[in-house]
Amino acid sequence: MQNVTFVCGLGGGLDVVNASILYFVSKSEGRNTMIGSVRPLSQEAIDKPVSKFHPFGTVINGESIIRDPRRYIEPRIAQVLDEDLIFISRNDIVNTKYMKDQEERKKKLSSNSKLLTEAILEAKKQFNVQNLVFVDGGGDSLIFTTGDIHGTGNFSPFEGGDAELLRAVRDIPNVYQAIISVGLDVRRDKFQHNIGLLKEKGKYFGRVNIATGEKQDYTLDHVFNFSHLEQALNEYYKLAEQVLVLKEEHLNVGKDRMPSLTATVSYHAIKGNFGKQRAFVPWEEVHDDGSKGPIVDEEHRWMYFVDAGAVENLKLEVNGLKSSL
């Protein structure tokens, strides 16, 4: 069996659309490539799967149905690509978010983390995955402290979907993390500081301008060399333009299109559509004149690459909870 590059949305939302950028890059370079998504959904909510390889892992296709009213675009993406998609859960039917007993919640989170790790390792084994890349849009996967986020509030860098996934892949070799549209979910100065910390540990692998192919400190040519970037982007545009809400008239088309802040900003940035752009999500920025939409700029084009297995350890170190890597 050929080695597989597995590109997967990292934490939730429509990270799988951001992941499709590298999926098409890998395909354009002739690699056997699979796409996937990690989401906070019980496997019990998936009808008509192709196969189930773990209690937290299922293969779906365009015929699969997700019984949940939230933004689950994965069956639609599988349909457009005419490919199977690996759907990995990070929790079972009990959602820890709503558990009131904190001790029981900690136990459940620990159990879920072990099952998530098992599902990822089983996917690597079953599909002969050589390189596994998790893709995050916005940059919140690299939040190390409460001060890294915009504004203030009760926030823990160890909570949430990105943190749960990164805890599960801790110390797993050949697992990479890619981040695009930096600044939407994290302060850019803090993000760059955290990149510097990873660089000091030898866990930062550079960045690539996805629109132009320019590379800075990039060392992962053996995983993605971006030699056929134009071809890859043309395929990415076709997908994004079929699954994202890019216009107001796209809002009422059922589950064929879904809105996303990060995936929409990535799309517009790579296309060169700078300035204010609507994302059609309730949490998009509202400006002084009453208009809505994030401000897309050139920095959103850059994709950063780090060692996903090292992030949790470094986060613990920064917060004084564990010794150095």
* CA 281 – CA 70 distance, rounded (Å): 12
Q: What per-residue confidence (pLDDT) applies to 252? A: 84
Residue type, 250: H
Q: What per-residue confidence (pLDDT) applies to 324? A: 54
Cβ partners under 8 Å of residue 289, min gap 6: none
* CA 133 – CA 151 distance, rounded (Å): 30
Beta strand residue intervals within 55-156, DSSP E:
57-60, 65-66, 85-89, 129-137
* CA 90 – CA 117 distance, rounded (Å): 9
Is beta strand 302-307 parallel, antiparallel or unpaired with respect to 204-209?
Answer: antiparallel
| Residue 292 DSSP label | B
- Sheet of 302-307: strand order equals 51-54, 57-60, 85-89, 33-39, 4-9, 129-137, 175-180, 302-307, 204-209, 215-216
* CA 82 – CA 100 distance, rounded (Å): 42
Integer distance in angstroms from the first to the last C-alpha of the chain? 35
CA-closest candidate to residue 39, choices 103, 134, 105, 156: 134
* CA 298 – CA 279 distance, rounded (Å): 17
| Residue 286 DSSP label | B
Q: What per-residue confidence (pLDDT) applies to 1? A: 60
Q: What per-residue confidence (pLDDT) applies to 102? A: 67
Rg of the chain, C-alpha, whole Å: 19
Give the dihedral of Cα atoms 80, 40, 285, 144; nearest 10 deg. -120
Q: What per-residue confidence (pLDDT) applies to 100? A: 65
Structural domain boundaries in the chain: 4-318
Q: What per-residue confidence (pLDDT) applies to 94? A: 53
pLDDT per position in the chain (325 positions), as tens?
Answer: 689 999 999 977 899 999 999 999 999 999 999 999 999 998 999 999 999 999 999 999 999 999 999 999 999 999 999 999 999 998 764 555 655 666 766 676 677 889 999 999 999 999 999 999 999 999 999 999 988 988 666 678 888 889 999 999 997 888 999 999 999 999 999 999 999 999 999 999 999 999 999 999 999 999 999 999 999 999 999 999 999 999 999 998 888 999 999 999 999 999 999 999 999 999 999 999 999 999 999 999 999 999 999 999 999 999 998 755 5
Distance of CA 50 to the CA centre of its chain: 23
* CA 62 – CA 243 distance, rounded (Å): 13
Q: How far is CA 182 from CA 3, 32, 177, 185, 302, in A?
A: 31, 28, 13, 7, 8
Q: What per-residue confidence (pLDDT) applies to 186? A: 94
Q: What per-residue confidence (pLDDT) applies to 154? A: 66
Q: What per-residue confidence (pLDDT) applies to 13? A: 84
* CA 234 – CA 259 distance, rounded (Å): 21
What are 236's two structure tokens?
Answer: 């990415």
Residue indicated by tokens 């564990």: 322
Q: What per-residue confidence (pLDDT) applies to 98? A: 58
Q: What per-residue confidence (pLDDT) applies to 268? A: 98
What are 10's two structure tokens?
Answer: 């990292």
What are 193's two structure tokens?
Answer: 């500081």
What are 96's two structure tokens?
Answer: 């820890």
**How many CB atoms within 10 Å of residue 46?**
21
Give the dihedral of Cα atoms 133, 296, 192, 145; nearest 10 deg. -80
